[in-house]
Structure formats: structure tokens, C-alpha cells
Structure 1
């Protein structure tokens, strides 16, 4: 389990991403799509999400959104 900058447990990347559904950017759109995807790795890390998107043949914008989300999650 990763810790945040305050020493508190950090939620799994994918779990955090699912909570970002109200954002009005690519991360928010990805979160909305992930919430409706029954096979989305809900407790996975960013690499698990990328692997899932690769299997689903997602577009490049989805991968960019994962990169952006990972940066936000790491600064969380």
C-alpha cells in the first residue's frame, strides 16, 4: 500500500480514478467510462488501467487521461 505525503494510506489508483467522475476534463471522461465498464480493474494501479485500455483498444486520449490522472494521484 502506498502512503500519501501525510503518511496516510493512499487509495489504489483505479479506485481514486473512479471518484473523479465529476471533473470536466479527460480524467473525468475516463472516470465516467470506467464506472460503466464491468471489467475495469477497480483496485489496480496505473499500469493495470493502461493494460486494460490496451486490451479494449482505447484511443490515445484515454491513455493521455491516465497519464494526467496518475500525476494528479501521485500529488494527492
Structure 2
């Protein structure tokens, strides 16, 4: 049975989803780090991974379907 290709959003880890959701909401990297109790370098690393996985250049190109409340509620 052939496997269906995963959506790019399905390739994101829980941490990447949380960081991406906050970034999409306009939260600064520093504030994301404070909110999630991680370093700003970790935020930058997660965003780099998100951009690569979603094939976007920056937070302004994050998909419109990437909404903070939904991602944070599911932890995905």
C-alpha cells in the first residue's frame, strides 16, 4: 500500500510548532525564549528548521494556516 506524503506542517516537531506559532503571532525571538524557557539561540535554531521545512524565507512568509492558539493547544 503506498504511503501518502506528509504535509510540511506534519514534519515540524512540537517545539518547532510552538516557536513558529509565536513567531507568526508577531512575538519577538527574545519574548519567545522567555515564554518557552529556552535560549534565543534555540528559538533561532527552531525558526531556521521551520523555514527550511516549510520552504519559506522568514516569519512574514509563514503560512496563514499556522495559528498560535491551535498549535499551542495541540502541542503539535
Fold-level similarity (TM above 0.5): no
State the TM-score, normalized to the length of structure 1. 0.34
Structure number, greater radius of gyration:
2
State the TM-score, normalized to the length of structure 2. 0.34
Higher RCO (Cα < 8 Å, 6 or more apart): 2
